[in-house]
Structure 1
Amino acid sequence: MLFAAIAVPIQAPLPAMALLLMTALFLPPLFRALKLPELLGLILAGVLLGPSLFNILEPKADTVVLLAGIGKLYLMFLAGLEIDLSQFQAARDRSLRFGFATFAIPLLVGLLIGLGFGFGWNSAFLIGSLLASHTLLTLPIVEHYGLLRQRAVAATLGATIFTDIGALLVLAVCLAVQSGDGGLIAIVRDLLIFSVFITLVLYGVKPLSRWFFRLAHNNERNQFLFIFLVLLLVSLGAQAIQLDMIIGAFLAGLAVNETLQDEPVREKVDFFGKVMFLPCFFIDIGLLLNPAAFWETLTTAGSLTFAIVGGLFGSKFLAAIAVKQWEGYSWPEVRLMWSLSLPQVAATLAAAQAGLQAQLLSPAVFDSIIALVLITVLVGPLLTDRFAQQICSVPKREGRSAPVPSLD
């Protein structure tokens, strides 16, 4: 602890919560003004407040654990909620083909990277799964250019459902193996249990939510409470069958996706999570980072970080090329698909944290994943804006910069 003698970590719940909310209030506007992602500012705030520097907030404090834990679930819930299922149905075959390519190729590349750096098969598979998913961070950019129904964009957006479920299932198997119950019969049994659970959630919660919304018509208070309760109960159900809670949260988002599409309460669900819980999760990521160790990873173990970052960029591009000939995509479309599938936030951060806690990932790998997240958050929007303009044939105006995604 660099400044351990200066401050004693805040343990009392209310002061800790006040500090978290104060950080969430003042940091994002500052970083928006600097044209930088809010995510970067919140993680940096966590580093400054954490035990590695000023030692003001303790990552294990009850308030931090509660708010950041719900934030992690909310992050995955919103990831499931923001997938446009109608777009997936409209471009199902294209989505499945690109989804398989942009999942399998990064998974294989990550596996080879893990094995090449001396990690066991289980850890290497988890590293691969971290590269296999993607976050729809740049969705507002393609929406701004009116490209949501463009064939390459629709395929990429639809592919998200494939990549996220696939990556989370790999995480579930890796955690099950790590727990010691990793024989072939046990793995098959776990996969059957997981499949039954996924089916029950997706096909059970959907009609239940529709029935409740008809019952609570025009009562947004009860609708909101119902949605939040579904998130918690499905997450706890996942934990009960030895799945990570983030998988349950993602499934809960998918299950109520269609119910919330045209409901006014949808805005409240987004607003509440993004204002209250998501900032706390990103701050908690910063609390877990050790700047000295992070810098050491980037310098002495820079080859690992370079391999992970380069592996992601290269494998996602290969995936877009792999479907180019099959679907007849143009090169601008390929580049746009690549840039859309680059950002790594939701599933990557949540799964990396779960892997670190289960001792499946070393601190060096975790630091490299944080570097990957920050790089893709910065580069992804810039590339997407550029390639979207190419497809629209809109001349780039002098001094125009790519929109910076925000939490609100």
Structure 2
Amino acid sequence: MTPQTILPLITLPLEDPILKFMLIMAIVLGAPLLLNRLKIPYLLGLIIAGAVIGPNGFNLVLRDSSIILSGTAGLLYIMFLSGLEMDMNDFKRNGWRSAVFGLYTFAVPMLFGIVAGHYILGYSLYSSILLAGLFASQTLIAYPIVSRLGITRDRAVTIAVGGTIITDILALMVLTVVVGLATGQADTGFWYRFGASVVACVAAILLLFPIIGRWFFKRCSDNVSQYVFVLVMVFLGAYLAQLAGLEPIIGAFLAGLAMNRLIPGTSPLMNRIEFVGNAIFIPFFLIGVGMLIDYRAFFKSWESIEVSIVMIVMVTAAKYIAACLTQKTFRLSRDQRTLLFGLSSAHVAATLAAVMVGYNVVLGRTPEGEPIRLLNEAVLNGTILMILATCTISTFASQRGAHNIAIKGAQGPGERTTGEHVLIPVSRQEKIAELVGLSIALTKQKYRSLYALNVIDNQSDDPELKKRSQSLLETAVTAAAAA
């Protein structure tokens, strides 16, 4: 599409990086303020905004390499945070529950997908199995909602996060196997290479990353360097997973698990990680997802509409049934079931990867010379529409379930809603920042009260003594605000 000049210095789509960044940040700023009044999850607002300004909307911003880079970082950030914020003790207790949910949310959509592809849409067996893999995979796109409400340690969240990793691994393994079988590359050596690379990747991340992180944090106390080191570990884990034949989001999640015990949930470093992710990386990812949505797919052909309707209905039903089975198995509440369904119903990352791989696999040619693809263009268009629908369902369901759980948790009997109270004695200027950091690290609740105490002699009229005491208290307040 040729650029259109609307002002002497402005053309569409925007090419000036300053204008592009300003527009996107204005959307990130304005979407929550506007949508909170309308009671619409801001995640959905960012996706819709991406569709409006993207190449399939008003063509204000192209989905170029800068958007893709920032969006990829945002997706990896979501998975990393889900592993980093997980309560490891609770994860160990609920690990088998996550495994059961992962099998539920993989097996039920696989069954529905094969039925939909082979018997309703009339696709071949390989294409139907790959379509079922699209149904099974899921993305924790609604996780920031849970994080903002402070219920990341709820049992339903722990089960959903662990189950997502399991079902995504299984779905991507199905993708690898089906493509190998369809193209004739799945020989005996393929299975040995794949299994060995996966085991080596998981072992390297879970065993070596904690050792490297512990060594680095002991020798470096610079705040900026620590944050950059965390980013390096996130992308290193993602790249190792990619080398092993897995989706990079798996490596980012494993990196979060590996660094979990090294970064306390209430530490200054954790605050910086969450702040930059929620302010920059994750919004860029959501806007980038919106740019993929093409409303014109509704009008291209009846086959695209039919395929998209079948995909949306079947995948939503399958994920809801998996959530209901998990609720009955572990006696979860209705709100936990809603949250479980919301977190598991969105399809973005692994789904996009799978559909693009299937679309690019050409099995042959028709007599007219047209390529015969493993997944045709109708499935590609249907997947884009399914992403929009499932992201909408996921954000609304997660918002509803998480909001109810947060309210019930705050109003629970015997619980203190004011948080923990920590008394910090301040007497030496150089030790205040360390004491404040230690106090924040020791508190487990999101909302807490820190009190600074400095003792002086009431009988003394020395103005310098009182001035020094006031300075110490002001330093403590500044350190707490910075943390």
Q: What is the TM-score normalised by the length of structure 1?
A: 0.79
Q: How many residues are treated as equivalent by the alignment?
A: 381
Alignment of 1:20-39 (within 5 A): 20-39=24-43
Structure 1 residues 77 and 296: CA distance shift in structure 2, 3 A: farther
- Residue of structure 2 equivalent to 1:128: 135
Paired with 2:263 and 2:114, the residues of 1 have a C-alpha distance of: 37
Change in Cα spacing, 1:184 to 1:288, as seen in structure 2 (3 Å) is same
Match of 1:363 in 2: 381
Distance across 2 between alignment mates of 1:336 and 1:288: 31
Show the counterpart of 2:111.
108
Instruction: Tell me: CA distance 1:86–1:106, structure 2 relative to 1, closer, same or farther (3 Å).
Output: farther
* Contact 2:138 2:345 (8 Å CA) reproduced: no
Deviates more, 1:111-120 or 1:31-40: 111-120
Amino acid at match of 2:398: G
Q: Which letter maps to 2:279?
A: V
Distance 1:118 1:363 in 2: 17
**Contact conserved, 1:59 with 1:287, CA < 8 A, in 2?**
yes
1:8 to 6, 12, 16: 12
Q: Which residue among 216, 229, 245 is the counterpart of 2:248?
A: 245
In structure 1, C-alpha distance between the alignment counterparts of 2:411 and 2:276, rounded to whole Å: 38
The percentage of aligned residue pairs carrying the same residue is 27
Other-structure match for 2:88: 85
What is aligned with 2:229?
226
Residue identity in the other structure for 2:394? T
Q: What CA distance in whole angstroms lies between the structure 1 residues aligned with 2:327 and 2:238?
A: 38
Q: 1:307, 1:25 → 2: CA distance? A: 36
Q: Would the alpha carbon gap of residues 34 and 156 (structure 1) be closer, same or farther in structure 2, given more than 3 Å must change? A: closer
Which residue identity lines up with residue 14 of structure 1 in the other structure? I
Contact 1:134 1:163 in 2 (8 A): no
Partner residue in 2 for 1:406: none
Please identify the structure whose Cα radius of gyration is greater.
2
Q: Residue 340 in 1 paired to residue 347 in 2?
A: no
| Residues in 2 aligned to 1:269 and 1:346: alpha-carbon distance in whole angstroms | 26
Shift of 1:175: 4.8
Q: Does residue 352 in structure 1 map to residue 327 in structure 2?
A: no
- Does the Cα contact within 8 Å between 1:224 and 1:269 map onto a contact in 2? yes
- What letter is aligned with 2:48? L
Q: Tell me how far 1:364 sits from its aligned partner.
A: 1.1
Instruction: Tell me the CA shift for residue 56 of structure 1.
Output: 1.5
Secondary structure in 2 matching 1:10: coil
How far off is 1:160 after superposition? 2.4
Give the superposition deviation at 1:193: 0.9
What aligned pairs does 1:1-80 form with structure 2 within 5 A after superposition?
8-60=12-64, 62-80=65-83
- C-alpha contact (below 8 Å) 1:136/1:343 kept by paired residues: no
Q: Is the 8 A contact 1:24 1:42 kept in 2?
A: yes
CA contact under 8 A between 2:142 and 2:398: conserved in structure 1?
Answer: no
2:322 matched to 1:315?
no
Q: Separation in 1 of the partners of 2:296 and 2:224?
A: 46
Residue pair 1:230, 1:252 contacting (<8 A) in 2 also: yes
Return the structure number with greater strand share: 2
- Name stretches of at least 5 consecutive residues in structure 2 with no aligned partner: 360-374, 413-483
Question: Which residue is 1:174 aligned to?
Answer: 175
Would you say 1:160 and 2:161 are equivalent positions? yes
Deviation at 1:201, TM superposition (A): 0.8
**What is the aligned partner in structure 2 of residue 400 from structure 1?**
none
Aligned residue in 2 for 1:290:
294
Aligned amino acid, residue 282 of structure 1: L
Tell me the residue number matched to 2:398.
380
Match of 1:97 among 93, 96, 100: 100
1:258 is displaced (CA, Å) by 2.3
Shift in CA distance, 162/195, structure 1 to aligned 2, threshold 3 Å: farther
Q: Are residues 165 and 181 of structure 1, via their aligned partners in 2, closer, same or farther at CA, if it must alter by over 3 Å?
A: farther
Residues 99, 160 of structure 1: 8 Å contact kept: no
* Distance of 1:325 and 1:24 partners within structure 2: 39
Q: TM-score, normalised by structure 2?
A: 0.68
CA shift, 1:346, in A, is 9.9
Q: What residue number does 2:209 align with?
A: 205
- Greater displacement, 381-390 / 197-206: 381-390
Task: Name the CA distance, whole Å, in 2 between partners of 1:132 and 1:243.
Answer: 15
- What residue identity is the alignment partner of 1:354? A
Partner of 1:405: none
Question: Contact 1:88–1:155 at 8 Å: present in 2 too?
Answer: no
Query: With CA pairs under 8 Å and 6+ residues apart, which has the higher RCO, 1 or 2?
Result: 1
- Deviation, structure 1 residue 302: 5.4
Distance 1:26 1:108, change over 3 A: same
The change in CA–CA distance for 1:324 and 1:222 in structure 2 (over 3 A counts) is closer
Distance 2:306 2:397 in 1: 20
Matched position secondary structure for 2:285: helix
Give the Cα–Cα distance (whole angstroms) in 2 for the partners of residues 237 and 346 of structure 1: 27
